[in-house]
Amino acid sequence: MNEQQLIATARSLMQAGKGLLAMDESNPTCNKRFAKLGIPQTEEARRAWRELILTTPGLSEFISGAILYDETIRQSKNDGTAFIKLLMEAGIVPGIKVDTGTKDLAGHPGEKITEGLDGLRERLSEYREMGARFAKWRAVISIGEGIPSRGCLETNAHALARYAALCQETALVPIVEPEVLMEGDHTLEQCARVTEAVLHTVFSQLYLQGVLFEGMILKPNMVLPGKDCPIQAGIEDVADATVSCLLRAVPGAVPGVAFLSGGQNAELASARLNAMNARWRSRMPWDLTFSFSRAIQQPALDAWKGQDVNRMAAQKALYHRAKCNSMARRGEYRGEMEKP
Ligand code: 13P
């Protein structure tokens, strides 16, 4: 086993004051976001967007690792420098999304299973040779009438655990991402119950597959009421519900928890992460940070709009969100930071 290497990589991803930048949207997801802003949905536009992100001055002050997509890990700056080289030179650890997306789970209407296990060992070796040092796999769980089912939780947890074991065999730190979705009118308490059940199931499967907890990172959802729930929770309620849930289900041997943003407003995501760190730091055995995609990229994408004249404004917006989230990771974020 590559224990020492895995532990060292996981520690460097969780280093003080930093978090992960998720820029691993699949082409269809990236295109959807581009379409909303009238940006051409071409490989060159996606490359230009990723170059803008990766050349943001000072990004590595707040970002320890970046999660790439298969297309992106093979792309380069317009001067020919490979993106992966840019990252390494900046001291940002390169990572790669390795699941191939979700499909309907047979026999379970309304539920999904994440695919990508076939041929995964070979793909992981290729990515490692290219320079990746960690990987990501996302499972999605919906809350609704009679769901999630036990069958959905067990199959998704099993796939996550098989993926994580294969990653560790290849000396890649697995980011284990079971996402309970915000879609629906469920309450905060329902989300807490489901998230806790998901995490217990995932860690039980990780244990069965021999995954080294010290050499992995958990990427969960925050515990939130559904988007359509009439009662929306306050920042501190979300922080308390989320950390209480993690304390019950996440082993202390896991070095870090890095949240997904899941469609939350960018400033709220920072405020909620901040409240968790400010209120609970002394009680938590793991570090709590961010691994946001939308909540870190969207303000910058809105500023860019696909036009080169907006490049600097977009980089400024990205730097600002990275800084706010870095402060939140320390429990030192203040709403005043958002004022122009
Ligand atoms: P969001 O922060 O936009 O939820 O994305 C995180 C991610 O990596 C999804 O897989």
What's the mean pLDDT in 182-204? Answer: 98
What's the mean pLDDT in 294-310? Answer: 98
Instruction: Please tell me the pTM assigned to this model.
Output: 0.98
* pLDDT tens digits along 161-174: 999 999 999 999 99
Is the confidence at residue 109, as pLDDT, over 90?
Answer: yes
Characterize the bridge pairing of strands 102-104 and 112-114.
antiparallel
Structure confidence at residue 272 as a pLDDT band (50, 70, 90): very high
Q: How far apart are CA 310 and CA 306, in angstroms?
A: 8
Q: How far apart are CA 129 and CA 214, in angstroms?
A: 23
Helices (H), 131-265: 150-169, 188-208, 235-249
- Beta-carbon contacts of 223 under 8 Å, excluding residues fewer than 6 positions away, are 188, 191, 192, 195, 238, 241, 242, 245
Is the confidence at residue 1, as pLDDT, over 80?
Answer: no
Both structure tokens of 161: 């655990």
* pLDDT tens digits along 303-324: 999 999 999 999 999 999 999 9
* Residues in contact with ligand 1 (CB, 6 Å cut-off): 22, 24, 138, 177, 260-262, 292-295
Percent of the chain exceeding pLDDT 70 equals 100
Helices (H), the chain: 3-13, 27-36, 43-54, 70-73, 83-90, 120-130, 150-169, 188-208, 235-249, 266-280, 294-304, 311-330
Of 97, 112, 136, 219, which is the active-site residue?
219
Percent of the chain exceeding pLDDT 90 equals 99
Active site residue 219: yes
Q: Ligand 1 center to residue 292 CA distance, Å?
A: 5
Q: How far apart are CA 66 and CA 56, in angstroms?
A: 13
Q: Ligand 1 center to residue 260 CA distance, Å?
A: 5
Average pLDDT of the residues of the chain: 98
Q: Ligand 1 center to residue 68 CA distance, Å?
A: 12
What's the mean pLDDT in 276-290? Answer: 98
Q: How far apart are CA 64 and CA 20, in angstroms?
A: 6
Q: How far apart are CA 132 and CA 257, in angstroms?
A: 20
Q: How far apart are CA 271 and CA 55, in angstroms?
A: 27
Active site residue 177: yes
- 288 half-sphere exposure, CB direction, 13 A CA radius: 30
Structure confidence at residue 292 as a pLDDT band (50, 70, 90): very high
Is the confidence at residue 84, as pLDDT, over 90?
Answer: yes
Is the confidence at residue 62, as pLDDT, over 90?
Answer: yes
Structure confidence at residue 140 as a pLDDT band (50, 70, 90): very high
Structure confidence at residue 340 as a pLDDT band (50, 70, 90): confident
What's the mean pLDDT in 119-146? Answer: 98
* pLDDT tens digits along 222-249: 999 999 999 999 999 999 999 999 999 9
What's the mean pLDDT in 290-302? Answer: 98
What's the mean pLDDT in 14-42? Answer: 98
Neighbours of 275 (CB within 10 A): 22
